[in-house]
Amino acid sequence: MKLVTFSTGTDQRVGVVDVDSGVVRDVTAVLPGGVGVLDLIEGWAEFGPRLERETSGQPEHPLDAVRLLAPIPIPRRNIFCVGKNYRDHVLEFGRSGYDSPDRSEAMPEHPVVFSKATTSVTGPFDDIDPHHGVTRELDYEAELAVIIGRGGRGITREQAFDHVWGYTIIDDFTARDLQRTHKQWLIGKSLDTHCPMGPYAVSADEVPDVTALVVESHVNGEPRQSAPVKDLIFDVPELIATISAGITLLPGDIIATGTPAGVGIGFDPPKFMTTGDVIEISITGLGAQRNRIA
């Protein structure tokens, strides 16, 4: 099932998307008042079967006639992000001089985990704020994001997929100069609108083999990134096991799994994004997002 948060005016609605028909079915009326996608995921044992039964009879809107917001517009806490999780990206990041220590091309021995503020989240087709006066080095990072369904601590690799509700797309948009200056990455990763998410939250039953998904990005129509999820250094079960070893994961938590090679700092000279540039990111079966630099 593909869930969305959408608007036809000023209010937010919850929908189920039928990609083949090009429509979103508004299921807001079959849910308790105020229930959003995050609540659906947390209460999936109850709400999932209800949506299976009742979605088909709900009002339809053409997908191109509504505004799609991030499927989880306000996550309950910071997004867990993973750095340097594709081998070729480790090399390009090390060569760029933006790594810490500088120019380290060594493969990580353990997942590099940081976070991205909830206030950075924006819609899959919204403009990205360039934050002139704060940064001059804007970069993109196409990533598969895992959405936790059943929380827990001490989750083993073998149990990991039992805790996955589904998946979405994230652009871990980055102010590279802030990332380099501050060493710790929170500020450089968390500027407002620097986390386009969506368009859909896709339940795991629609993704029988997550390793077969391909992550791609284009800038102004030029291909930049393309890699299968099977190329991750630390796979989805390893990331869940690592993070949950001493941190309780909660329903609706989001884990961005890392970006492939082909980001702006991977070029010589770097190809930073500027006003008017368009970044498009797609992942097999999860849809595509398109954001313009304002």
Q: In the prediction, which pLDDT does 71 show?
A: 98
Q: In the prediction, which pLDDT does 261 show?
A: 96
Q: In the prediction, which pLDDT does 96 show?
A: 86
Secondary structure of residue 147 in the 3-state scheme = strand
* Average of per-residue pLDDT values in the chain: 96
How far apart CA 155 and CA 174 sit, in angstroms, is: 30
Strand partners, 23: 18, 62
Q: In the prediction, which pLDDT does 28 show?
A: 97
Tokens at 107, concatenated: 């493969």
Strand partners, 30: none
How far apart CA 293 and CA 153 sit, in angstroms, is: 39
How far apart CA 127 and CA 130 sit, in angstroms, is: 9
Structure confidence by residue, pLDDT tens digits, 265-280: 999 999 999 999 999 9
Other Cβ atoms less than 10 A from the Cβ of 272: the count is 18
Q: In the prediction, which pLDDT does 105 show?
A: 77
Residues 74-111, buried b or exposed e (16+ Cβ, 10 A)? ebeebbbbbbbbbeebbbbbbebebbeeeeeeeeeeeb
Secondary structure of residue 176 in the 3-state scheme = helix
The hierarchical CATH code for the domain 79-292 is 3.90.850.10
Return the closest-CA partner of residue 288 out of 24, 126, 280: 280
Q: Which residue has the tokens 């807001």?
A: 28
Q: In the prediction, which pLDDT does 93 show?
A: 87
Listed in sequence order, the residues at least 6 apart from 263 whose beta carbon sits closer than 8 Å to its beta carbon are 89, 92, 93, 139, 140, 141, 224, 225
How far apart CA 194 and CA 138 sit, in angstroms, is: 10
Intervals of the chain under pLDDT 50: none
Query: Is the link from the previous residue into 101 a cis peptide, with omega within 30 of 0?
Result: yes
Q: In which order are the strands placed within the sheet that holds 278-283?
A: 222-228, 214-219, 278-283, 287-292
Q: In the prediction, which pLDDT does 100 show?
A: 67
